[in-house]
């Protein structure tokens, strides 16, 4: 039971940054914007989050620094794609490259430094319950925040008028504009929200997952978050399942290596990304009613004046 508990706790920790980043990207894509710069925003958030926590000695300050860093990075994307109507795919890829280089510059001063990671919740009598105690009542605040965030996004998208307007901008921005809705403003707010979530997901890595910062520590998690949105068919409920599924694949390959399974370690390390490709292929073959993506996803919108 101790081994099972340890594996489940590891899966929760590995899945949290995926869920945070994918939640922000889901809202962005629901508004009709395809931001491929999630990896870049995450790694900048990781560098700034660690720097803020190391300088201030506060995990909260570090998390806020990661959020602000992600939002500022996403502003570059918003300015290029919404303000100047530049191709979204090319801009997102450029943003990832920029973020990787910028994070190396910001984090160079802090490589080799260590901090105290985010504390775990401890409720006397509940956290000590065998197997489920630490899983339900012994996680850090980031885990609970990620679940609260996805519930909030579901409620916003399907239970509020503002969520309906945002989805309308993603499905038919011309009609939404004709009805008088500020499409570009709505999309900019969605992009900023996605940047904040990606920055927080990146900050989670040095603040709670590991107590240090190293260049490239996101290790492709931003790309997996992008794939998770497609896996979930742009629906928040399925996003939770996908995030924990891919987190489980990541952790199980580590346990398999530790158990001495006779498979090359390079293949085991590539397993989460291989699983991503396989799932996307299966989803593509399984859909018979056409794409479930927002109809205007990735389409540049220039309002008539």
Measured between alpha carbons, how far is 10 from 248 in angstroms, rounded to an integer?
A: 8
Q: Coil, strand or helix: which one is 154?
A: helix
Q: Give the other-Cβ count within 10 Å of 6's Cβ.
A: 13
Query: 27-41, 172-186, 256-270: which has the minimum mean pLDDT?
Result: 256-270
CB 246 within 8 A of CB 224: yes
Checking if the pLDDT of 261 tops 70, the result is no
Beta strands of the chain (E only): which ranges?
none
Maximum alpha-carbon separation in the chain: 65
Provide the residue ranges of all domains of the chain, joining segments of one domain with +: 2-118+133-286
**What value does the mean pLDDT of the chain take?**
90
Which pLDDT tens digit goes with each residue over 114-134? 999 999 988 888 888 887 888
Which pLDDT tens digit goes with each residue over 233-251? 899 998 999 899 888 887 8
Q: Give the other-Cβ count within 10 Å of 63's Cβ.
A: 24
Which pLDDT tens digit goes with each residue over 88-103? 999 999 999 999 999 9
Checking if the pLDDT of 259 tops 60, the result is yes
C-alpha closest to that of 40 among 225, 187, 167: 225
Secondary structure (DSSP) of 42-99? HHHHHHHHHHHHHHH--HHHHHHHHHHHHHHHHHHHHIIIIIS---HHHHHHHHHHHH
Q: Give the other-Cβ count within 10 Å of 84's Cβ.
A: 9
- Fold topology of 2-118+133-286: ABC transporter involved in vitamin B12 uptake, BtuC (1.10.3470)
Sign of the CA dihedral with 43 first, then 140, 157, and 244 last: positive
Sign of the CA dihedral with 74 first, then 20, 109, and 219 last: negative
β-bridge mates for residue 140, sequence order: 120
């Amino acid at each position: 039971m101790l081994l099972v508990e340890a594996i489940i706790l590891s899966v929760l920790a590995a899945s949290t940054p995926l869920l945070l980043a994918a939640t922000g990207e889901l809202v962005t894509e629901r508004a009709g914007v395809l931001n491929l710069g999630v990896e870049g925003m995450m790694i900048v958030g990781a560098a700034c989050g660690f720097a803020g926590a190391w300088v201030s000695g506060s995990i909260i300050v570090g998390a806020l620094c990661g959020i602000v860093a992600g939002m500022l990075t996403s502003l570059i994307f918003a300015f290029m794609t919404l303000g100047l109507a530049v191709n979204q795919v090319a801009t997102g890829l450029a943003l990832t490259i920029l973020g990787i280089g910028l994070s190396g510059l910001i984090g160079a001063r802090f490589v080799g430094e260590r901090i105290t990671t985010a504390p775990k919740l401890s409720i006397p009598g509940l956290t000590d319950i065998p197997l489920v105690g630490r899983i339900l009542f012994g996680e850090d605040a980031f885990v609970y925040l990620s679940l609260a965030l996805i519930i909030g996004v579901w409620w916003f998208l399907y239970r509020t008028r503002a969520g309906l307007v945002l989805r309308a901008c993603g499905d038919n921005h011309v009609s939404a504009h004709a009805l008088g809705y500020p499409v570009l403003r709505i999309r900019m707010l969605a992009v900023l929200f996605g940047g904040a979530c990606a920055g927080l997901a990146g900050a989670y890595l040095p603040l709670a997952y590991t107590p240090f910062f190293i260049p490239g520590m996101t290790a492709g998690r931003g790309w997996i978050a992008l794939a998770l949105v497609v896996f979930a068919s742009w629906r928040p409920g399925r996003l939770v399942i996908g995030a924990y599924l891919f987190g489980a694949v990541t952790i199980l390959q580590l346990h398999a290596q530790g158990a001495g399974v006779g498979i090359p370690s390079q293949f085991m390390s590539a397993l989460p990304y291989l699983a991503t490709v396989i799932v996307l292929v299966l989803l593509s073959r399984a859909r018979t009613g056409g794409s479930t993506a927002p109809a205007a996803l990735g389409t540049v919108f220039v309002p008539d004046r």
